C-alpha cells in the first residue's frame, strides 16, 4: 500500500481552536469528545471509536503525569483515528525528495559556525506581519503544497510589504510528479522543490481567492491555471536549498532571510498539545511531512526550540504550531531506514542520515522572489 506523508487531516465538522486542554481531562469522556469535535458515528462505529479513544486517553494522561517531559499531550480531532488511518494521511514523496537532493547546486549560505553570536536570541516572523493564519489541508496529502505556498507568501510579503494568501490548489493541480515515484503529485505527494520549480515555469502563483482550495476531502483535480482567469501574483526567480543536516545555515537563513520550508518526521505529532516537543524517533526518523519554520527561541523552563507552523488547523497543538527541541551545540542524528517508503522508484539510497529533532535539518529551502515582479 502506498504511504503518503503525514499530511494529516481534519475529517470532521469545523470546531473551535479553544478545545478542552490537557489539565481538564480527568473526567473527560468519549461522549464529551464526540460532541466537542462534531463527530458523527453509527452505533457500531461508535463502539470501535470509543475503544480507540479511551486507550489513547489513558496514554495521554500517563504522559502528562511524567514531570520529566517538556511537552503535554492532549485530545484533538485525531484522537480516535486508527494507526492505519493516520498513516494513510501522510504526503511527502520521499523518492522524489531524494532524487531532487542529488541534483542540487551549491547552497548560497556557508556551512560555517561563524557569527552565530551576532544572531538575535529569538525570532518570530509572525511578529513582523509576514506569516498568514494557520490553515487546514483536510483529507488530502497536500502538506507539501501548504508548506510551499506559505513560504512563498512570507517571502512575497517581505519583498512587497503585502501579506496575501496564495493558492495551494494551483500547486496541487499543476505540479505533476513526472517521475511517478510512489505518487502522481496532488494528494499523492510532492516536495517543495518541485513546487518552486513549477511556479517558476508556469509564470507565478495565484491568490487563494482566484484559485481556491478544493481538495479538502482528498480529491485531485485538473490544472485550471490561466493567465487570464487565475492570474499569477507572486513570481519567483529561483530558490535556495540549504546544506543538508547543518544547523548554522538554517538558523542564519531563518534569522536573516525569512521563514523556511522544512521536511520532518511528524509520525509522533498527533497527540501534541503544548510545550517543547522531543518525542520523535531520533534513532530512525522517517521523514514524512512538509511544514514551515517561522522562528526560534528559548523557553526559560523548557529550553531552546524551533517554532514550526503546521497545516492541521488551529485545533491542533499551540493554535496550529509546535515547538521542537533545538539543539544549539551537538546535533543529534539518526538514520532514515525507509527513504523510499511507500514509493515505486528504484535507484534511491538505501538509507539517509537525518539530523535535528524530528529530522528538522535534513531538507530546508526557501524561494527567491522575482525582483522585477
Cell representation of residue 225: 491555471
Q: What distance in Å separates the CA atoms of residue 147 and residue 294, rounded to the nearest whole number? A: 11
Percent of the chain with pLDDT over 70: 83
Mean pLDDT confidence for 60-68: 96
Q: Which of 143, 174, 181, 345 is catalytic?
A: 143
Q: What digits encode the pLDDT tens for the residues 333-366? A: 999 887 654 333 445 677 889 999 999 999 999 9
C-alpha dist (Å) from residue 328 to 10, 116, 331: 34, 10, 7
Q: Based on the residue annotation, tell me whether 143 is a catalytic residue of this protein.
A: yes
Within a 10 A sphere around the Cβ of 372, how many other Cβ atoms? Answer: 6
Q: What digits encode the pLDDT tens for the residues 91-115? A: 776 766 766 665 554 444 444 455 6
Q: What distance in Å separates the CA atoms of residue 194 and residue 185, rounded to the nearest whole number? A: 10
Please answer whether residues 75 and 54 qualify as being in contact, where contact means their C-beta atoms are separated by less than 8 angstroms.
Answer: no
Within a 10 A sphere around the Cβ of 113, how many other Cβ atoms? Answer: 14
Structural domains present in the chain = 22-369 (3.90.70.10)
Higher pLDDT residue, 85 or 343? 85
3-state secondary structure of 161: coil
DSSP string of 328-357, one letter each residue: SSSPPEEEES-TTTT----SS-S-EEEESG
Predicted local confidence at residue 342, as pLDDT: 32
Q: What distance in Å separates the CA atoms of residue 140 and residue 162, rounded to the nearest whole number? A: 28
Report the phi/psi class of residue 205: left, alpha or beta, with left for phi > 0 and alpha for psi in -120 to 50: beta
* pTM (predicted TM-score): 0.90
Q: What digits encode the pLDDT tens for the residues 266-322? A: 999 999 999 999 999 999 999 989 999 999 999 999 999 999 999 999 999 999 999
Q: What distance in Å separates the CA atoms of residue 121 and residue 70, rounded to the nearest whole number? A: 20
Q: Based on the residue annotation, tell me whether 310 is a catalytic residue of this protein.
A: yes
Going by C-alpha positions, the residue among 337, 343, 151, 358 that lies closest to residue 245 is: 358
DSSP secondary structure letter of residue 190: B
Predicted local confidence at residue 91, as pLDDT: 72
Q: What digits encode the pLDDT tens for the residues 20-35? A: 898 899 999 999 999 9
| Beta strands per DSSP E along the chain | 71-73, 123-124, 205-206, 232-234, 236-241, 260-264, 272-277, 289-299, 303-309, 321-325, 333-336, 352-355, 364-369
Q: Which of 177, 289, 355, 358 is catalytic?
A: 289
- On the CB side of 178, CA atoms within 13 Å amount to 7
DSSP secondary structure letter of residue 46: H
C-alpha dist (Å) from residue 303 to 226, 277, 328: 48, 10, 10
Residue 187 has pLDDT above 50, yes or no: yes
Within a 10 A sphere around the Cβ of 278, how many other Cβ atoms? Answer: 20
Strands 205-206 and 260-264: unpaired
Please answer whether residues 35 and 168 qualify as being in contact, where contact means their C-beta atoms are separated by less than 8 angstroms.
Answer: no
Q: Which of 98, 310, 345, 355 is catalytic?
A: 310
Please answer whether residues 299 and 288 qualify as being in contact, where contact means their C-beta atoms are separated by less than 8 angstroms.
Answer: no
Residue 298 φ then ψ, to 5°: -135, 125
Q: What digits encode the pLDDT tens for the residues 115-124? A: 687 899 999 9
- On the CB side of 34, CA atoms within 13 Å amount to 17
Predicted local confidence at residue 371, as pLDDT: 66
Query: What value does the CA radius of gyration of the chain take, rounded to a whole number of Å?
Result: 20
Contacts of 73 (CB under 8 A, 6+ apart): 22, 59, 60, 63, 64, 271, 272, 273
C-alpha dist (Å) from residue 291 to 5, 105, 287: 11, 23, 12
Mean pLDDT confidence for 75-85: 88
Q: What distance in Å separates the CA atoms of residue 298 and residue 278, rounded to the nearest whole number? A: 14
Please answer whether residues 140 and 187 qualify as being in contact, where contact means their C-beta atoms are separated by less than 8 angstroms.
Answer: yes
Amino acid at each position: 500500500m502506498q504511504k503518503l506523508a503525514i499530511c494529516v487531516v481534519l475529517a470532521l465538522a469545523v470546531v473551535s481552536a479553544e478545545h478542552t486542554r490537557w489539565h481538564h481531562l480527568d473526567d473527560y469522556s468519549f461522549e464529551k469528545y464526540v460532541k466537542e469535535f462534531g463527530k458523527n458515528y453509527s452505533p457500531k462505529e461508535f463502539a470501535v471509536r470509543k475503544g480507540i479513544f479511551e486507550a489513547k486517553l489513558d496514554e495521554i494522561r500517563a504522559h502528562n503525569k511524567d514531570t520529566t517531559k517538556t511537552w503535554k499531550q492532549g485530545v484533538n480531532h485525531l484522537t480516535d483515528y486508527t494507526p492505519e488511518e493516520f498513516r494513510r494521511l501522510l504526503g511527502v514523496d520521499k523518492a522524489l525528495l531524494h532524487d531532487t537532493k542529488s541534483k542540487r547546486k551549491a547552497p548560497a549560505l556557508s556551512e560555517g559556525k561563524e557569527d552565530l553570536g551576532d544572531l538575535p536570541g529569538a525570532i518570530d516572523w509572525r511578529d513582523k506581519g509576514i506569516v498568514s493564519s494557520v490553515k487546514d489541508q483536510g483529507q488530502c496529502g497536500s502538506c507539501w503544497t501548504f508548506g510551499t505556498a506559505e513560504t512563498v507568501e512570507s517571502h512575497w510579503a517581505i519583498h512587497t510589504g503585502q501579506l496575501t494568501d496564495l493558492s495551494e490548489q494551483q500547486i496541487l493541480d499543476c505540479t505533476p510528479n513526472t517521475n511517478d515515484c510512489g505518487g502522481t503529485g496532488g494528494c499523492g505527494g510532492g516536495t517543495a522543490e518541485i513546487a518552486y520549480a513549477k511556479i517558476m515555469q508556469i509564470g507565478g502563483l495565484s491568490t487563494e481567492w482566484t484559485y481556491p482550495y478544493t481538495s479538502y476531502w482528498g480529491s485531485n483535480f485538473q490544472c485550471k491555471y490561466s493567465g487570464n482567469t487565475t492570474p499569477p501574483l507572486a513570481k519567483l526567480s529561483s530558490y535556495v536549498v540549504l546544506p543538508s543536516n547543518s544547523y548554522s545555515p538554517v538558523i542564519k537563513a531563518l534569522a536573516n532571510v525569512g521563514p523556511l520550508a522544512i521536511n520532518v518526521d511528524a509520525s509522533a505529532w498527533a497527540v501534541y498539545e503544548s510545550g517543547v516537543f522531543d518525542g520523535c524517533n531520533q534513532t530512525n526518523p522517517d521523514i514524512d511531512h512538509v511544514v514551515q519554520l517561522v522562528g526560534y527561541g528559548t523557553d526559560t523552563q523548557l529550553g531552546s526550540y524551533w517554532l514550526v507552523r503546521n497545516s492541521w488547523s488551529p485545533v491542533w497543538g499551540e493554535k496550529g504550531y509546535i515547538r521542537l527541541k533545538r539543539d544549539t551545540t551537538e546535533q543529534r542524528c539518526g538514520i532514515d531506514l525507509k527513504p523510499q517508503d511507500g514509493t515505486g522508484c528504484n535507484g534511491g539510497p538505501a538509507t539517509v542520515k537525518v539530523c535535528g529533532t524530528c529530522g528538522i535539518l535534513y531538507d530546508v529551502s526557501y524561494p527567491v522572489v522575482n525582483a522585477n515582479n
